[in-house]
Chains A and B, each alone.
Chain A
Amino acid sequence: MNETITADAIASSHPRTAEAAAEGEASRQASAIEMQGLHKRFGRATVALDGVDLTIEAGEFFTLLGPSGCGKTTLLRILAGLEEADDGRLAIGGRDITEVPPHRRSVNTVFQSYALFPHLSVRDNLAFGLKMRGMAAAARHAKVDEIADFIKLGDLVDRRVDQLSGGQRQRIALARALVCEPDVLLLDEPLSALDAGLRSQLQVELLRVQKRLGMTFVFVTHDQDEAMVMSDRIAVLNGGVIQQVGPPREVYEHPANAFVARFMGHDNLYPVTGRQGSRLATALGELTTAEAGEGELLLIRPETLDLLPGEVAGDNHLPAVVVERLYRGSHAEYRLEVGDTTLQATLNNRGRHLPEVGDRVTITVAPDDLITLSE
């Protein structure tokens, strides 16, 4: 059962980690990445990147998040050197590498399709980068054994690639890049081909490996849940422009604009039709916010709502009818109607009463949890 090993076991078995710990983490210096004014267009019409300025800190797990066509993969490919920016500068570890070809960059990539070489054994796949860099055969052999043990696939090194399962291939692709000890590891949707269970398991493994090695990881995904679980910071991209950069909580709880909010999965967005100080008029009724924002959209996160049985009067109390309930065990997702307007709510299942479809309820929300956004 190679699929079920834990990342703890992986990470603690890595010799370099022990060494690094002994030397007070001094043996490995992670590299920061600086991007300035990166532009890229394909053909005449397609703008992939429209002026990206971004700094990724050394040792950070950084995620580029966005829908397909947002430019996240193009940005990753520019970091790898597989794509050349039309304009702008790129530096890794303080060194300008804008025009350095991919084979001269100390950057390695885990490809979405893994791109393992089918004509080579697992061992030769793992040794490929070391061989290209001119490492002697004996040293290569030792290194490959080390990394294969590290990912707990030591018994697979003499297999052929087509004899591996999806999860094993994913690990080999990761190991093939890690064994080169790059300044920066790039990951292009590396888990998207795996089924849900294996995927969440490998998310945790990947995260722990990154924390142990202290390497700078740049991760591309279109899955906001995956981005939130793994990242130190997230950059949300749309139309080749960075919409917001921040830690997962900030991006989720205080999205910079309506695009980010929708992409992070928020559906409860209501136009503000009038305002008086901190009181906002919306299709739901009048609500009080803590912060007097300028935005023309009100965001209500489903999990900040509470439902009281029956009709209760009060500030930020909205009378509603339950239209739909999806019971998910740990929580329940509600669709409610306030007048003609629908609203999503999520209730924790802490042994309390969960209203049924058709029940009349009162929605309550704290002023602190209401924020306004711009389109």
Chain B
Amino acid sequence: MAYTGVMPSARSRAMVREARHLLFTVAPGAVWIVIFLVLPGAYLMGVAFMTNGPYGLPEMPLSLESFKRLAGFGFLGWSPGNLYTLLRSLWQTAVSTGLVVLVAYPIAYYITTCREKWRPIMLLLVVVPSWTNQVIRTFGWMNLLAPGTPLSGLAEGLGLIAPNMGLYPSSFAVTLGLVYNFLPFMVLPLYAAFEKLDTAQVEAAQDLFASPVRAFWHAVFPQTLPGLLAGIVLVAIPAFGMYVIPELLGGGKGMMLGNLVATQFSGGANWPLGAAGAILMLIATFIGLFAMRRIGKRLGGGEEVVI
């Protein structure tokens, strides 16, 4: 009966080896996530359910006060201000993401048609602006769009804006800033999708009686869908929570949810309300991601879109 003694010990040794392997590969990341994501997230969650203190800091007892205020019920009865901010954030995100798609799609396609040695350079040109600090780039747009600049003058001349208004500050400036900022995040996944595409498939579609437009729609577009969906996620989520661009380019008018949250944490305004706003954003984002997965599965013919 030597069998019973030998086998388990060999197996347990293998288990120890595997545990050690896990410890060294997964543990650092897990620790990082616990310290910087799980704990702060839990803290934020707790803060959201606490009462606002005299200096804007959270206090006991637990209450739903912040969520009520977030929904618009203040000391003076219900006001739609926060609801507008939420809707504006969603609208701004949708419009910006849509525009990013329209701009990025042809760029990504064009890069794949370039000679192979030029492609890394073209991609670099797309990415290089994002190596500069976002705040600096946004200030750049302020200078370009402010009243009295050539661009504002042109818009005035065309009768698009009232005299001396300038293109900035406005929600147009916010949209422009968002599109500019997030373009690389759409171009890169789309480029990856285009690059995988065998050009013979486009020819095959035309050979099988598809006009150029239908060849695009039936043979090309569906295959870029995974890249498109990945790009939409990469753009829409950060855009939805964007703080800097609406703050700098929007003036008082373009406030988004991110600004509402930031205001509650800075200047000692109302931490519990800010935390509740952050949680609202998180929920909205998860709903969006879930919807994207569903869309991706349906359009992608069952192929899982990794998000």
User: Which residues of chain A are within 8 angstroms of B300 by Cβ–Cβ distance?
Assistant: 119
Closest Cβ neighbor of B203 among chain A residues: A82
Q: Which of B42-50, B157-165, B206-214, B241-249 contacts A (4 or more CB under 8 A)?
A: B206-214
| Residue B219 interfacial (CB < 8 Å) | yes
How distant is B219 from chain A, measured CB to nearest CB, in Å? 6
| Residue A331 interfacial (CB < 8 Å) | no
How distant is B108 from chain A, measured CB to nearest CB, in Å? 18
Report A's interface with B, CB cutoff 8 A: 80-82, 101-104, 107-109, 111-113, 115-121, 128-129, 132-133, 160, 176-177, 180
A133 to B166, CA, bound (A): 53
Closest Cβ neighbor of A120 among chain B residues: B301
How distant is A314 from chain B, measured CB to nearest CB, in Å? 58
How distant is A152 from chain B, measured CB to nearest CB, in Å? 22
B200 touches A115 (CB 8 A): yes
Given A102-B203, A103-B215, A117-B201, 17 more pairs with CB closer than 8 A? A81-B206, A82-B203, A82-B207, A101-B206, A101-B211, A107-B207, A108-B207, A109-B204, A112-B200, A113-B200, A118-B223, A119-B301, A120-B222, A121-B301, A132-B210, A133-B209, A180-B208
| Residue B218 interfacial (CB < 8 Å) | yes
| Residue B303 interfacial (CB < 8 Å) | yes
User: Which residues of chain B are within 8 angstroms of A109 by Cβ–Cβ distance?
Assistant: 203-204, 207
B209 touches A129 (CB 8 A): yes
A115 touches B198 (CB 8 A): yes
Q: Could you say which of B200, B206, B214, B225 contacts A102, with CB atoms under 8 Å apart?
A: B206
How distant is B178 from chain A, measured CB to nearest CB, in Å? 30
Q: Could you say which of B200, B208, B222, B223 contacts A129, with CB atoms under 8 Å apart?
A: B208
User: Which residues of chain A are within 8 angstroms of B204 by Cβ–Cβ distance?
Assistant: 109, 111, 115-117
Q: Could you say which of B206, B225, B301 contacts A82, with CB atoms under 8 Å apart?
A: B206
A115 to B198, CA, bound (A): 7
| Residue B155 interfacial (CB < 8 Å) | no
User: Which residues of chain A are within 8 angstroms of B200 by Cβ–Cβ distance?
Assistant: 111-113, 115
How distant is B269 from chain A, measured CB to nearest CB, in Å? 50
How distant is A105 from chain B, measured CB to nearest CB, in Å? 8
| Residue B205 interfacial (CB < 8 Å) | yes
User: Which residues of chain A are within 8 angstroms of B208 by Cβ–Cβ distance?
Assistant: 103, 108, 128-129, 132, 176-177, 180
How distant is B205 from chain A, measured CB to nearest CB, in Å? 7
User: Which residues of chain A are within 8 angstroms of B211 by Cβ–Cβ distance?
Assistant: 101, 103
B201 touches A115 (CB 8 A): yes
A132 touches B203 (CB 8 A): no
A103 to B216, CA, bound (A): 13
Q: Could you say which of A81, A103, A108, A116 contacts B210, with CB atoms under 8 Å apart?
A: A103
Known A103-B211, A121-B301: A111·B203 in contact at CB below 8 Å: yes
User: Which residues of chain B are within 8 angstroms of A176 by Cβ–Cβ distance?
Assistant: 208
Q: Which of A108, A109, A116, A117 lies at the interface centre, i.e. has the most chain B CB atoms within 10 A of its CB?
A: A117
User: Which residues of chain B are within 8 angstroms of A107 by Cβ–Cβ distance?
Assistant: 207
Q: Which 7 residue pairs spanning A and B have beta carbons closest together?
A: A129-B208, A115-B204, A115-B200, A132-B209, A102-B206, A119-B222, A132-B210
User: Which residues of chain B are within 8 angstroms of A80 by Cβ–Cβ distance?
Assistant: 203, 207
